[in-house]
């Protein structure tokens, strides 16, 4: 049944945000989204068109930045729900740890204040598995929603920002929310079909493998298709069972990067001819990290099993994600289809 209520989706240029916008428009909602500059409106609309939706007047844009108060009251006005996923990501622009943490924490609080003051019913926060599974000693069970990243351990700045910003959101909702409902989604690596050249940092890993790399570091991750993640956001937005809860989003057990490489070579044939076939020892990665920032960023993840369970989302919200293999292959095939690989 059509539903013309307005939903605010923050960070409309983002990969996850655009798939959430597609899901909302297909479900009959009207959508308002924030961008840092209106110059990117055409790009967003074009990507949605690639996803099969001509948004037209059902989609509107507001200029707002996580680092400033301006625009957020206007963005939230008249909205029934907010899907908030805008956050600093590993783009290479960050220099200090504060460059990650402060915008993420302050941005969450700005959005939550605007939502509360506008009378929004519920905010669904896109957090990350990085707020759940980092900094722990090896575990024999999958991570679940009761777990929080141990900030006393070896935690990279991005994962620290997701942990501190999610905790700040929960603290705000409890102390200052005045009835505003909050739900958090903690996805593993987000794959699935890209809509254009601006996509998630997780998909950059698939691109790097397809473009050719010396070998696979011993890093582990769960995977979820962005279309299923968008579906979970919509379920969490309206289901009473989601109020005040966290939900991990991952499809099946985690995989080591070398297992992903084997899957790509098996499923894509000649298109995956540059995908590596060997695993790089941890000692080699650590040696190279001294001179290579990309390798340095991997060191906290070496040998760490990030296996987690989505049993809670399946049981409480009826969520049914497609297999992880489909998410991986869909990402690779879309990179090829859009001509986004190196020559």
Within a domain: residue 341?
no
Residue 291 falls inside a structural domain:
no
Residue 36 DSSP one-character state: S
Tokens of 270: 């000649």
pLDDT for 1 equals: 37
Q: What's the domain range around 118?
A: 6-195+223-252+307-321
The pLDDT of residue 103: 86
Q: Is residue 138 part of a domain?
A: yes
Residue 15 lies in a domain: yes
Note whether residue 29 is domain-resident. yes
Distance CA 29, CA 2 (A): 7
Residues 17, 83: Cα–Cα separation, whole Å: 8
Give the whole-angstrom CA distance, residue 328 versus residue 171: 35
Number of domains in the chain: 1
- The residues, ordered by sequence, that sit 6+ positions from 240 with a Cβ below 8 Å of its Cβ are none
Query: Where do the H-state alpha helices sit in the chain?
Result: 15-26, 41-50, 72-76, 97-117, 157-176, 201-211, 226-238, 257-268, 282-289, 293-298, 311-317, 324-337
CATH number of the structural domain spanning residue 18: 3.40.50.720
Give CA 241 to chain center in angstroms.
22
In degrees, rounded to 5, the angle at the alpha carbon of residue 293 between the alpha carbons of residues 330 and 15 is 30
Is 259 inside a domain boundary? Answer: no
Indicate whether 300 belongs to any domain.
no
- Residue from 132, 317, 107, 122 nearest 229 by CA: 317
Instruction: Return the pLDDT at 93.
Output: 66
Each residue's pLDDT, cut to its tens digit, for the chain (343 residues) gives 346 799 999 999 999 999 999 999 999 999 999 999 999 999 999 999 999 999 999 999 999 999 999 999 999 999 999 999 998 655 556 677 788 888 899 999 999 999 999 999 999 999 999 999 999 988 889 999 999 999 999 898 889 999 999 999 999 999 999 999 999 999 999 999 999 998 888 999 999 999 999 999 999 999 999 999 999 999 999 999 999 999 999 999 999 999 999 999 999 999 999 999 999 999 999 999 999 988 888 998 999 999 999 999 999 999 999 999 999 999 999 999 999 999 8
Q: Is 0.75 topped by the overall pTM?
A: yes
Residue 191 lies in a domain: yes
Q: Kindly report the number of other CB atoms within 10 A of residue 174's CB atom.
A: 10
Active site residues per annotation: 162
């Amino acid at each position: 049944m059509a539903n013309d209520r307005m939903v605010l989706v923050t960070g409309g240029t983002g990969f996850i945000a655009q798939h959430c916008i597609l899901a909302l428009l297909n479900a009959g909602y009207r959508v308002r989204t924030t961008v840092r500059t209106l110059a990117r409106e055409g790009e967003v609309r074009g990507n949605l068109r690639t996803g099969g939706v001509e948004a037209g007047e059902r989609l509107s844009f507001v200029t707002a930045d996580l680092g400033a108060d301006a625009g957020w009251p206007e963005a939230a006005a008249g909205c029934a729900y907010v899907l908030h996923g805008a956050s600093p990501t590993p783009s290479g622009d960050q220099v200090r740890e504060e460059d990650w943490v402060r915008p993420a924490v302050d941005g969450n609080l700005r959005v939550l204040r605007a939502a509360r003051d506008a009378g929004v019913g519920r905010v669904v926060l896109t957090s990350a598995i990085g707020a759940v599974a980092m900094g722990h000693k090896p575990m024999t069970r999958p991570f679940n929603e009761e777990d929080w990243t141990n900030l006393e351990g070896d935690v990279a700045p991005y994962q620290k920002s997701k942990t501190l910003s999610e905790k700040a959101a929960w603290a705000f909702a409890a102390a200052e929310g005045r009835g505003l409902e909050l739900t958090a989604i903690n996805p593993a690596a987000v794959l699935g079909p890209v809509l254009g050249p601006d996509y998630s940092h997780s998909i950059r890993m698939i691109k790097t493998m397809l473009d050719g790399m010396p070998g696979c570091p011993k890093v582990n991750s769960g995977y979820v298709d962005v279309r299923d993640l968008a579906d979970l956001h919509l379920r969490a937005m309206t289901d009473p069972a989601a109020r005040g809860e966290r939900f991990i989003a991952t499809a099946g057990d985690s995989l080591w990067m070398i297992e992903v490489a084997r899957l790509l070579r098996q499923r894509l044939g000649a298109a995956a001819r540059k995908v590596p076939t060997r695993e790089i020892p941890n000692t080699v990665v650590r040696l190279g990290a001294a001179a290579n920032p990309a390798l340095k960023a991997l060191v906290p993840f070496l040998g760490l099993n990030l296996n987690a369970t989505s049993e809670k989302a399946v049981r409480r919200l009826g969520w049914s994600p497609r297999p992880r293999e489909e998410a991986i292959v869909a990402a690779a095939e879309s990179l090829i289809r859009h001509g986004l690989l190196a020559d």
